[in-house]
Amino acid sequence: MRIREATAGDWARIWPFLRDIVAAGDTYTWDPDVTEERARDMWMQTPPGRTVVAVDGDTVLGTAKMGPNHLGPASHISSASFMVHPAHGGRGVGRALGNHVLDRAREDGYRAMQFNAVVSTNTRAVGLWRSLGFEILGTLPEGFRHPTEGFVGLHIMYRKL
């Protein structure tokens, strides 16, 4: 597995699993019916943002995007989002992307990373971020309408860099 900057040509291999993850409506605060054009605009970042892919040869295993979470006097706080291809789960893609993004954020001079909306029922993600040093700063009660669990909490997670 190798992690590198995403190119425009990678999008065609990102969109199929990104679309499925968003359409499932259980982990992402995106419109489940997002159009491909809007999704590409939201995922494929321009500087100072970055988008990376984890690849194995020609196969895209997962992707992450990162950038400033706030502007101006709070622009030292970064954020990031992650999508792992469901067919390639369980082999550490999310963890590798997480570590990579933390390293890049440090290099870019950010002082902390904040996740704005981690669905509380997404226990694998919450556990992964905890193991990478994130803590839950607060939980928005009933912040997320889960397709089968109803209204569940939405964690704000944070770690210093």
* Chain centroid offset of residue 71 CA: 19
Q: Which residues bind a second copy (CB under 8 A)?
A: 22, 25-26, 28-32, 34, 70-77, 111-112, 114, 116-117, 137-147, 154, 156, 158, 160
Q: How many CB atoms lie within 10 A of CB 77?
A: 17
Q: Please state, in angstroms and rounded to a whole number, the distance separating the CA atoms of residues 8 and 22.
A: 20
* Residue among 53 and 152 whose Cβ is closer to a second copy: 152
DSSP code, position 30: S
What are the E-state strand segments in the chain? Answer: 2-5, 50-56, 59-68, 77-84, 112-119, 135-146, 150-160
* Residue among 5 and 141 whose Cβ is closer to a second copy: 141
Q: Shortest distance, CB of residue 73 to a second copy, whole angstroms? A: 5
* Residue among 57 and 72 whose Cβ is closer to a second copy: 72
Q: How many CB atoms lie within 10 A of CB 23?
A: 14
Q: Shortest distance, CB of residue 95 to a second copy, whole angstroms? A: 24
Q: Shortest distance, CB of residue 76 to a second copy, whole angstroms? A: 7
* Residue among 54 and 102 whose Cβ is closer to a second copy: 102
